[in-house]
Amino acid sequence: MTSCCSRPAAASTDPTHDPAADTRLPVAIIGAGPIGLAAAAQLLARGIEPLVLEAGAEVGQAVRAWRHVRMFSPWAFNTDAAARALLTAEGWAEPDPEAYPTGGELVDRYLAPLAATGALRDRIRTGVRVVGVARRDFGRLHNGEGRDAVPFVLHVETCCGMEAIEARAVIDCSGTWNAPNSAGSHGMPALGEARHADRIAYGIPDVLGADRASHAGRTTLVVGAGHSAMNAVLDLVELAKTAPGTRILWAFRRPLGAVNFGGGARDGLSQRGELGARAQALVESGAVTALAPFLIDRIAEADGALSVSGRQEGRARTVQADRMVVATGFRPDLSFLREIRLGLHPAVEATPAVAPLIDPNLHSCGTVRPHGEAELRHPEAGFYIAGMKSYGRAPTFLLATGHEQVRSIAAYLAGDVAAARRVELVLPETGVCSTERSAATAGCCGPAAATTLAEPVAAGACCGPAAAPAPKAGGCCG
């Protein structure tokens, strides 16, 4: 890896260079998390130069924030094939595919060693925050002849100031961890939420470790109904066993009977099924106090505690808590993509092809069929959003889904349309799939309909897929 101000040769930004050199520009990957690093490995396997830009000081910055959390998917679903090939070439000891890693183990045993491989370490820049992406000399409004043929320009912020980087294509794998949803019932932060942020945690705090003192012997209000909320509640219940006076309130935005705790023993990922079953048992046993439905409007302070006001079953209600854990999901940060022509579903903020597969308004399928380059396309040719951010505001994302996404994108950029079209992933069923879709549009979890992909553009175009390189002897994909 290189420091924020180091500039790999492939990232030249000289505006006077020969246009013919555009085809030799790298593919810029925003984010050095599991999917960003997998994208880099997949591109290298196809003979395409990647440049990974990571805002954090280290790779896997978001995963490090939940390093105390055990994943409900085993190692078999958490590593990418091209990445494994790079690691294996350097003597990597692959973890037990049936074991379940924590976030910390995912970083220490996979992401950090992957970033340190000879193939990737000089193609990753840390401490580099992307603050803007556009076409060279073309804003979002302007068509102009040859718009799709010019490279992208990324404005990045480093410790040394601002810099411009050019790329033949862009894959945004920046995730959603830094854009959590709020506690407010309207989609906006509750009144007073920002003011009391010092007593509100978003995601899954380490209540059994670093954050224990903030929750032991106190009342914590957990808001949310997904797996993050379940993890937080389970940890707080464990804390209560050794910290007298610890009390847990659990607020749901829907009636308790409508809360989806998962498929239990029917879930293809046993740990995911067990997580939901344990959480449901806690509610039914009264070990936690369920508030359902509870719609939060305001957060204030009263008698040294948080006073959380809202509505429950049409009546005003206020509860008091010392701390809050808000685990209501995440949303994509699109602020630095304002000059890119995005095609997004108006509610989900995923592409129109992906949104119907994951929209919780339509179904509760945790099982989403694999999808690739075709479904992830935006009107801006050569620009993709992959990984968790590709799901917009929807939950249920698995790393294996992201690996399949970037495998397909890399294949398409290399001109291998057949490989881009091919599905090379089988995901586990969740054991629960309710739907309100009409018969004509049902089948959210079934096999995909055949998709027509555009053929590769001429190899000379800087931003389209290039002709596939000849296989290399001994290559990972040969």
Domain end among 326, 359, 384 = 326
Low-confidence ranges of the chain (pLDDT < 50): 9-21, 430-478
| Structure confidence at residue 450 (pLDDT) | 38
Provide φ and ψ at 297, rounded to 5°. Answer: -110, -35
**Same domain (yes/no): 168, 30:** yes
- How many angstroms separate the Cα of 295 from the Cα of each of 298, 310, 337, 343? 10, 5, 32, 31
Flag whether 343 is in a domain.
Answer: yes
The gap from C-alpha 356 to its chain's centroid, in whole angstroms, comes to 18
- Our count of domains for the chain comes to 2
- pLDDT computed for residue 195 by the predictor: 97
Distance, CA of 400 to CA of 264 (rounded, Å) = 21
Token pair for 311: 């509505």
Helix or strand or coil: residue 245? coil
Distance of CA 183 to the CA centre of its chain: 20
In a domain, 445, yes or no: no
**How high is the pLDDT of residue 361?**
84
Does residue 154 share a domain with residue 69? yes
116 and 19 within one domain: yes
Does residue 98 share a domain with residue 55? yes
Q: Which residue's structure tokens are 């500039």?
A: 7
Which CATH number belongs to the domain containing residue 87 in this structure? 3.50.50.60
Cα 55 to Cα 129: distance, rounded to the nearest angstrom: 4
For 401, the token pair is 């889904």
pLDDT value at residue 372: 94
Distance CA 316, CA 320 (A): 14
- Residue 409 within any structural domain of the chain: yes
Distance, C-alpha 284 to centroid of its chain: 32
Does residue 283 sit in the same domain as residue 391?
A: no
> Does any domain span residue 477?
no
Q: Which helix (H) or strand (E) holds 418?
A: helix 417-421
Listed in sequence order, the residues at least 6 apart from 133 whose beta carbon sits closer than 8 Å to its beta carbon are: 152, 153, 154, 155, 170, 172, 336, 337, 339, 340, 383
- The whole-angstrom separation of Cα 478 and Cα 471 is 6
173 and 210 inside one domain: no
pLDDT recorded at residue 268: 55
Q: Which residue range(s) make up the domain with 271?
A: 197-326
Residue 3 lies in a domain: no
Phi-psi region of 47 (alpha: psi -120 to 50; beta: other; left: phi over 0): left
> What pLDDT shows up at residue 439?
36
DSSP of 283-294? HHHTSSEEE-SE
With b for 16 or more beta-carbon neighbours within 10 A and e for fewer, the 118-140 pattern comes to: ebbeebbbbbbbbebbbbeebee
Same domain, 305 and 317: yes
Residue 341 lies in a domain: yes
Whether 141 and 204 share a structural domain: no
Give how far Cα 478 sits from Cα of 47, 318, 400, 406, 474, Å.
Answer: 12, 63, 22, 18, 7
At 421, the amino acid letter reads R
- Tell me, rounded to whole angstroms, the distance of Cα 360 from its chain centroid: 17
Residue 466: predicted pLDDT:
42
For position 260, what pLDDT does the model report?
72
To 10 degrees, what angle do helices 399-413 and 81-88 make? Answer: 90
The answer as to whether 140 is a domain residue is yes
For residue 297, what are its two tokens?
A: 């409007």
Q: Which of 421, 442, 465 is the last residue of a domain?
A: 421
Do 110 and 59 meet the contact criterion of CB atoms below 8 Å apart? no
170 and 236 co-located in one domain: no
Q: Tell me the sheet residues that pair with 286.
A: none
Instruction: Express each pLDDT in 372-406 by its tens digit.
Output: 999 999 999 999 999 999 999 998 788 999 999 99
Do residue 411 and residue 318 come from a single domain? Answer: no
pLDDT at residue 256, as a whole number: 85
Considering the domain architecture, whether residues 137 and 227 belong to the same structural domain is answered as no
- Kindly report, residue by residue over 3-30, the tens digit of the pLDDT: 666 655 444 444 444 444 466 899 999 9
The residue among 285, 301, 326 that closes a domain is: 326
Instruction: Report how far Cα 378 is from the mean position of its chain's Cα atoms.
Output: 18
User: Cis before residue 469, ω within 30 degrees of 0?
Assistant: no
If asked whether residues 174 and 154 sit together in one domain, one would say yes
- Largest distance between two CA atoms of the chain: 71
Residue 103 lies in a domain: yes
By C-alpha distance, which of 300, 318, 321, 320 is closest to 309? 318
Cβ neighbours of residue 285 closer than 8 Å, sequence gap 6 or more? none
CA–CA–CA angle 92, 90, 94 (5° rounding): 15
